Structure formats: structure tokens, C-alpha cells
């Protein structure tokens, strides 16, 4: 493990394991005060053992604190805005929980499929079987939002008041669909059309906006993904990335008109990290995985970037 990478002009942190047998850390998030990253010790949390978490100082690179969460409780991210607590998924109870930074449970929010804290830290958005719930820090459901689909989850903030949500198919004859969900009282608006599965295509699970176009992440089963551009008129076009990087590319973020991509997702590596400019079709590597190495194991963009 070589720690979080700071890349010039790039809001990203990455973990790059050196090869089999190397004990590493998996990044779960950046603190909003820009002082720490939260990591899990790889290998902890198995066979009934607790998950071991560390906070690493971005100033010194040293471990600032270490604590444990119960087995089957997995940290997902810091709370906002400053990172004074953390959110975690309790897979045994099927709930979203809040823990302090010593590993003590503070709040059980609700049964949920995924969670997204508000940028100001005043509430949490969680996924349900019928849409999204907006839950206060005290655990009170402020609003229940119904969306078409079988199981929904918040993906990220699209704007300061709108959440991008992914809703899985309500039947075997339809695919995952993306929705823009305003939290100011407006109705959810579909960002992608209702489509039938074909081949390995299972639907769209994320989207990013560059200009007037959407760059969609298509689920092609077994974690193999592809990129599709959706134009203003609703037409969609498959995007191919040139060179050796361009297979099963996961979009981490957009910045300056470019897509930050992690290649070979779901096919066992090697995993590289690079910028792709869709206008010029040029690739610029941040980390190119060497031979016989796993490469970049995870990417966490800094902050809450909108679409």
C-alpha cells in the first residue's frame, strides 16, 4: 500500500497495493476539514473479527487514531461538514448507523440500502424499497419520496438540493434507472429512460454532466461497466477509450471537461487511473499499473462534486 495520492489538479485519493501479500488500507473518505482520511485495515472484519479503522493525518502521513467497529459493520464515509463522526452500514441489522471516532454507536437511523449525508451535515438521505427517505440527525424521518422501482439508493449530490438516485428494476423486463430527486418538494425526474435488458446490459447506475451531455455508467453485469454518452435529444452513443486503458472503465469524477477513469473494474486488474478527454479522445495517466501488480485498488474524489 502506498497511501493516498495527491495529484496536481486532481481532487482524488487512491490506494495502490504493491502485489499479493501486501497489507494495505482501503480509503473510506476524506474529512471535510481537509485534515484526515478514514481507512480500513485490509483483512480486518473477517471470520467474526471487528473492522479496524484508522484516521491518517494528511499533514504528516501518520496514523492519528485507531479504533474498531463491530463485525459486519462497515464504515462508508465521514459525516459532514467537518468529519466529527462517521456513517456505517450494519449488514447484520440492515441499518445505517452513526458512530463517533472512537468506535461508539451514536445513532441508528433506519433500515436502508445506501446513505448520503447532506453537505451541511443536517440530515441523511437513505435508500428504501420504494424511493428515498430524508432523515434528521436525531433519526426522525423528515420526508419520504416515492420513486418507481424495486429498490432505490442515493448515488451522490447532483446539485446543492438535488440527489442522483439509482433505482433497480421493478420487474425482470426492465433495467436500473437513474432519477434526479429534488429535496425542495418537487417530483423526481427520470435522468435515463426505462429500458429492457439486452445481452449483459442491466441499466445505468451513475451519470456525470459535461456541457449539455450526460456520460452514463452502464452496468454490463459482473461489475464490468461501460460508458455511454446521452445527448440533449436523448440519443445515446457508446464511448470507447483508446489505448490499453479502455476496458471496463469506472467514472470516478469529472474535472475541467475530463473524466477521471479507473480501468479494468470487475475483471481482476491490473487497475490503472487516468484522465480521459471525450472531446479530444486523449488519455493522460495518473497511475499506470505495472506488470504483475494489482494497481489502483480504490479511488475517492475529494469533496462533494455535483454533476
pLDDT, tens digit, 9 for 90 and up, residues 68-109: 999 889 899 999 888 999 999 998 888 899 999 999 999 998
Angle 51-55-56 (CA atoms, 0-180°, nearest 5)? 130
Q: Among the listed ranges 38-47, 167-176, 257-266, which one has the minimum average pLDDT value?
A: 38-47
pLDDT at 117 over 80: yes
Instruction: Look up residue 239 and give its three cell numbers.
Output: 464511448
Beta strand extents in 83-161 (DSSP E only)? 85-90, 95-100, 105-111, 115-117, 123-127, 131-136, 141-146, 152-157
pLDDT at 63 over 50: yes
Beta bridge partners of 228: 216, 238
Beta bridge partners of 176: 203
Q: DSSP assignment, residue 247?
A: S
Burial 200-232 (b: 16+ CB within 10 A, else e): ebbbbbbbbebeeebbbbbbbeeebbbbbebee
d(CA 288, CA 41): 24
pLDDT at 13 over 50: no
- Asked whether 67 and 89 are in contact (CB, 8 A), the reply is no
Q: What is the mean pLDDT of residues 36-41?
A: 90
Work out the pLDDT band at 299, boundaries 50, 70, 90. confident
Among residues 302, 299, 273, 303, which one has the least CA distance to residue 286? 273
Work out the pLDDT band at 1, boundaries 50, 70, 90. very low
Among residues 301, 270, 302, which one has the least CA distance to residue 287? 270
Question: For residue 208, how far is the Cα from the chain centroid?
Answer: 13
pLDDT of residue 11: 41
Instruction: Look up residue 5 and give its three cell numbers.
Output: 495520492
- CA distances for 9 relative to 6, 52, 258, 286, angstroms: 9, 32, 12, 11
H/E stretch holding 103: none
d(CA 211, CA 193): 20
- Asked whether 265 and 271 are in contact (CB, 8 A), the reply is yes
Exposed/middle/buried for residue 95 (C-beta within 10 Å: 0-12, 13-18, 19+): middle
pLDDT, tens digit, 9 for 90 and up, residues 236-250: 999 988 866 657 788
Q: What is the mean pLDDT of residues 111-138?
A: 89
- CA distances for 235 relative to 8, 80, 162, 238, 279, angstroms: 35, 37, 24, 10, 17
Question: For residue 86, how far is the Cα from the chain centroid?
Answer: 15
Amino acid at each position: 500500500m502506498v497511501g493516498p495520492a495527491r495529484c496536481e489538479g486532481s481532487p482524488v485519493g487512491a490506494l495502490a497495493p504493491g502485489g499479493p501479500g501486501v497489507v494495505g488500507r482501503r480509503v473510506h473518505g476524506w474529512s471535510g476539514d481537509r485534515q484526515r482520511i478514514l481507512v480500513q485495515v485490509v483483512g480486518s472484519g473477517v471470520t467474526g473479527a471487528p473492522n479496524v479503522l484508522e484516521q491518517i493525518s494528511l499533514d504528516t502521513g501518520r496514523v492519528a487514531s485507531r479504533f474498531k467497529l463491530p463485525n459486519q459493520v462497515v464504515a462508508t464515509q465521514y459525516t459532514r461538514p467537518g468529519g466529527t463522526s462517521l456513517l456505517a452500514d450494519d449488514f447484520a441489522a440492515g441499518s445505517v448507523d452513526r458512530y463517533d471516532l472512537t468506535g461508539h454507536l451514536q445513532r441508528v437511523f433506519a433500515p436502508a440500502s445506501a446513505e448520503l449525508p447532506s453537505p451541511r451535515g443536517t440530515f441523511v438521505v437513505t435508500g428504501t424499497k420504494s424511493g428515498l427517505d430524508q432523515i434528521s440527525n436525531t433519526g426522525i424521518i423528515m420526508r419520504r419520496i416515492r420513486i418507481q422501482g424495486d429498490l432505490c439508493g442515493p448515488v451522490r449530490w447532483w446539485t446543492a438540493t438535488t440527489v442522483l438516485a439509482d433505482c433497480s428494476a421493478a420487474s425482470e423486463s426492465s433495467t436500473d434507472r437513474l432519477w434526479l430527486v429534488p429535496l425542495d418538494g418537487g417530483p423526481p425526474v427520470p435522468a435515463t429512460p426505462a429500458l429492457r435488458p439486452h445481452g449483459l446490459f442491466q441499466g445505468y447506475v451513475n451519470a456525470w454532466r459535461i456541457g449539455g451531455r450526460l456520460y452514463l455508467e452502464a452496468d454490463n453485469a459482473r461489475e464490468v461497466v461501460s460508458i455511454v454518452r446521452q445527448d440533449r435529444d436523448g440519443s445515446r452513443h457508446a464511448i470507447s477509450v483508446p489505448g490499453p486503458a479502455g476496458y471496463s472503465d469506472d467514472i470516478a469524477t469529472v474535472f475541467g471537461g475530463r473524466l477521471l477513469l479507473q480501468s479494468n473494474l470487475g475483471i481482476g486488474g491490473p487497475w490503472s487511473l487516468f484522465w480521459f478527454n471525450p472531446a479530444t479522445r486523449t488519455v493522460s495517466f495518473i497511475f499506470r499499473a505495472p506488470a504483475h501488480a494489482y494497481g489502483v485498488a480504490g479511488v475517492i474524489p475529494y469533496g462533494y462534486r455535483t454533476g
